[in-house]
């Protein structure tokens, strides 16, 4: 399975566009991680724990995207876009949302 953010795959010809495919992953927040992220907000610097969560989330979203595209009979997914966001649960917490979207294709 070839997955790419580009609209074409060099050296391959798209035989058929199978449709839009999406995948979502949602992670719960973590009190300890939030505490240390809050300290980073005060003193400055990068928040490595959240960077790792988003990195893993993007990898998981792309893996799920590939799985869903295979079920459609695809050989590849082009034009992949990854988006991140939050879902507010209550005043104390939020869920992290990572979404991957692309076009499933059958290659010649």
3-state SS assignment for residue 102: strand
Residues of the chain with pLDDT under 50: 32, 36
Instruction: Say what the pLDDT of residue 48 is.
Output: 65
Instruction: Say what the pLDDT of residue 42 is.
Output: 53
Instruction: Say what the pLDDT of residue 32 is.
Output: 46
Instruction: Say what the pLDDT of residue 87 is.
Output: 82
- Please state, in angstroms and rounded to a whole number, the distance separating the CA atoms of residues 56 and 74: 24
Instruction: Say what the pLDDT of residue 91 is.
Output: 72
DSSP summary character for residue 105: E
Look at residues 7, 21, 23, 32 and name the one whose alpha carbon lies nearest to residue 97.
23
3-state SS assignment for residue 21: strand
Instruction: Say what the pLDDT of residue 45 is.
Output: 59
- Please state, in angstroms and rounded to a whole number, the distance separating the CA atoms of residues 39 and 35: 7
Domains of the chain: 2-107 (3.30.110.70)
Instruction: Say what the pLDDT of residue 40 is.
Output: 52
DSSP summary character for residue 5: S
């Amino acid at each position: 399975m070839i997955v790419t953010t580009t609209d074409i795959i060099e050296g391959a010809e798209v035989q058929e566009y199978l449709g839009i495919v999406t995948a979502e992953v949602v992670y719960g927040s973590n009190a300890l991680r939030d505490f240390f992220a809050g300290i980073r907000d005060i003193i400055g610097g990068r928040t490595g724990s959240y960077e790792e969560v988003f990195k893993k989330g993007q990898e998981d979203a792309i893996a799920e995207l590939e799985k869903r595209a295979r079920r459609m009979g695809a050989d590849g997914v082009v034009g992949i876009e990854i988006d991140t966001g939050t879902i507010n649960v209550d005043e104390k917490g939020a869920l992290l949302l990572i979404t991957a979207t692309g076009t499933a294709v059958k290659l010649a």
